[in-house]
Amino acid sequence: KAGVTQTPRYLIKTRGQQVTLSCSPISGHRSVSWYQQTPGQGLQFLFEYFSETQRNKGNFPGRFSGRQFSNSRSEMNVSTLELGDSALYLCASSLGHRDTTYEQYFGPGTRLTVT
């Protein structure tokens, strides 16, 4: 079974631009979560989608948004990029059911550099 895939793997953008990152979960997984990883702040939760609905949201500004499609694939968008948005953006998927384990599997990430 294929793992979580993320595209693109690397991205360089300029301040003020916007960016869209894509995530394809493991087949059969219905929950997709996004995390930001930086050396200073570590791994921080952005948001979670389940059945095309945002189920949970972290403490990030409204410039960060996401969506999930009917095939469980997800995208996240960052508008008006700032230098501080430079980070590794990770996507994780899980079955998402309440009464089973919460095993989440991460993709390789998208390395975003804002100049």
Partner 1 sequence: QQQVKQSPQSLIVQKGGIPIINCAYENTAFDYFPWYQQFPGKGPALLIAIRPDVSEKKEGRFTISFNKSAKQFSLHIMDSQPGDSATYFCAASKKSSGDKLTFGTGTRLAVRP
Give 99's contacts (C-beta < 8 A, 6+ positions apart). none
Give me the half-sphere count of Cα atoms (radius 13 Å) on the Cβ side of residue 11. Answer: 25
Sole binder of partner 1 in the list 19, 24, 26, 31 (CB under 8 A) = 31
Choices 14-22, 30-38, 64-72, 73-81; region in contact with partner 1 by CB under 8 A: 30-38
Of residues 8, 103, 113, 115, which one binds partner 1 by CB under 8 A?
103
Q: Residue 82 carries which side chain, given as an amino acid letter? A: E
**What CA–CA distance (Å, rounded) separates 80 from 73?**
24
Binding flag, residue 26, partner 1 (CB under 8 A): no
Of the residues 16, 102, 113, 115, which one makes contact with partner 1 according to CB under 8 A: 102
SS3 call for 85: helix
Residue 107 near residue 56 (C-beta atoms within 8 A) = no
Using CB under 8 A, list all residues that contact partner 1.
Answer: 4, 31, 33, 35, 42-45, 48, 50, 55-56, 58, 90, 92, 94, 96, 98, 101-109
